[in-house]
Amino acid sequence: MTPTDIAVIALSVAGIFFAIVAAVGVLRLPDLYTRAHAASKSDTLGAVLSLGAAALAFGAGVPTVKTVLLLVFMFLTNPTAAHAIARAAEDQDIEPWTADEEGDA
């Protein structure tokens, strides 16, 4: 196994891990704001790591350039979209969750 293969496997596993963390965060967190935070941070990192693994697996060439451009696009747009969703929720007067709502004060 070459060092490139090891790097591809490591990046893929890390990407899958962060994608799972994002999914668990979206399912388990109590409100839109915390869910958007979990999705934007963890999902972006998972996608970037997975695309990095794909770029390494492709080697040098046009597919790698396209993969890196997609990686940059996702790195810029995922957090921006999450911010827009949170901003829209704030404009709609959606209140963030507080510990008082559960009686855990």
Query: How does pLDDT run across 58-102, given as a tens digit for each residue?
Result: 988 999 999 989 988 998 898 888 889 989 999 998 888 887 766
* Residue 55 is assigned to a structural domain of this protein: yes
User: Which range marks the domain in which residue 37 is found?
Assistant: 3-94
* Residue 75 is assigned to a structural domain of this protein: yes
Two tokens, residue 55: 């770029």
pLDDT of residue 101: 61
Give pTM, 2 decimals.
Answer: 0.80
Angle between helices 44-58 and 62-91 (to 10 degrees): 170
* Residue 50 is assigned to a structural domain of this protein: yes
* Residue 83 is assigned to a structural domain of this protein: yes
Q: For the chain, how many structural domains are there in total?
A: 1
* Residue 105 is assigned to a structural domain of this protein: no
Q: Are 11 and 52 in contact (CB under 8 A)?
A: yes
* Residue 99 is assigned to a structural domain of this protein: no
